[in-house]
Amino acid sequence: MQALLPSGWFGDAPPVLTALLNGFAAILANVYTVLMYAKAQLRIATATDGVLDLISADFFGPNLPRKTSESDTAFRNRITINLFRERATRKAVVDVLTMLTGRAPLIIEPSRPDDTGGYGIACGYGVAGAYGSLLLPYQAFITAYRPIGTGIPYVAGYGSSPSGYSIASRGEYASLSMVQESVSDADIYSAIDSVMPAGTIAWTRING
């Protein structure tokens, strides 16, 4: 701005003019920064901060919250994956549970021969499998597995070298309520519900 002023109007370093122009420049720079930030929030690929939480709530309601201490990049990736996730298929159930828990579920559809076997093919009593039935259309039995737990931080258990009676350590009596799990049973049920097709029933049990 100062370079555009006619030469000779002011001295080489006029303090008042310089301060005035610096004030204008600082304000315009802040406006530009805010404008660029707002522009970035218009697309999921570039959105950040709380805007990502708003995007998640807009598309998924309360079903896809940000995890504790989750970065913008990780949260953005989860939003994008869930937007384009395969749904209404058996593979969709397997994929969503495997991603959530790290363990693939066991799925049995009573009307699907590949799950139940049949007469004249390799199957029999004493062999792992399931009975089939055409009386249960559009239904499936799902055994989901909880993720491998992180245990109780900083507390050792019996039989481990850092803890035990008469041994200097940090050990204590514990309960299941103290175990830290990143995925709750409600999260598993919600994940299954998010990909199951309408008009179907998923009988679900959750094993450790």
DSSP 123: -
Q: How many domains would you assign to the chain?
A: 1
Has residue 164 been placed in a domain? no
Query: Count H helices, E strands: the chain?
Result: 6, 3
What does the pLDDT read at residue 151? 62
Q: How does the average pLDDT of the chain come out, rounded?
A: 84
User: Residue 48 above 90 pLDDT?
Assistant: yes
Has residue 143 been placed in a domain? yes
Has residue 186 been placed in a domain? yes
What does the pLDDT read at residue 125? 63
Has residue 158 been placed in a domain? no
Has residue 198 been placed in a domain? yes
Has residue 40 been placed in a domain? no
Report d(CA 79, CA 59) in Å as an integer. 9
DSSP of 125-184: TTSS-----TTSTTEEEEEEEPPPP---TT---TTSTT-STTS-S------GGG---SS-
Has residue 135 been placed in a domain? yes
pLDDT tier at 116, thresholds 50, 70, 90: confident
Has residue 207 been placed in a domain? yes
For 152-170, what is the mean pLDDT?
Answer: 61
Residue 106 sits in which domain range?
Answer: 86-147+182-208
Give the percent of the chain with pLDDT over 90.
Answer: 50
pLDDT tier at 127, thresholds 50, 70, 90: low
What does the pLDDT read at residue 14? 77
- At 63-99, the pLDDT tens digits run 899 988 899 999 999 999 899 999 999 999 999 999 9
